[in-house]
Amino acid sequence: MASTDPHAHSMHSWEANAAFWDESVGHDGNVYWQQLQVPALERMIPEAPAGTGRRVLDLAGGNGLVSRWLAGRGGIDLVLCTDGSEGMVKIAKGRWEGTSVDAGAGASGDKGEVKMLFQRVDVTSEDAFAKLEAEYGAKDVSDLFCSL
């Protein structure tokens, strides 16, 4: 029997459609990403020299597109890419492992100076945010993105 809880239904839908969503967005983004989001992000987040020490939290990061773009932007030491769907987190990690930051493309792992972490975080859960803050500390985050 299907759940009547709207939240559970939503989470199930994201798990069931993670691969479809990833295909529609792709590694380099779709037209919406390339023509609208990238220019807006470029205005908000100027390139910075290495070692600036910025730490970024990407909430609802999907396949990690914004996180990968940020990692190639410069001046960022750590990106924490989160999503409520474990399937999307796995896809984001896989896409990161196939990324060359030097090429500007936008797992836990290091690529050059950038460390990327991946974690399942339900943005609708106060408990999840409390755990995230306890683990990483709100003061340690310099930039926050939410791709809902």
How many whole angstroms separate alpha carbon 129 and alpha carbon 120? 11
Q: In what order do the strands lie in the sheet with 143-146?
A: 109-111, 114-120, 76-83, 54-59, 143-146
Would the pLDDT of 148 be above 50? yes
Burial class (CB in 10 A: 0-12, 13-18, 19+), 100: exposed
Q: Are 144 and 57 in contact (CB under 8 A)?
A: yes
Side chain identity, residue 88: M
> What are the boundaries of each domain within the chain?
6-146
Q: Give per-residue pLDDT as tens, 44-93.
A: 887 877 777 788 899 999 999 999 998 888 788 889 999 999 999 999 99
Q: Give per-residue pLDDT as tens, 87-111.
A: 999 999 999 987 654 433 333 444 5
pTM above 0.75, yes or no: yes
Task: Please tell me the predicted confidence (pLDDT) of residue 45.
Answer: 83
**CATH placement of domain 6-146:** 3.40.50
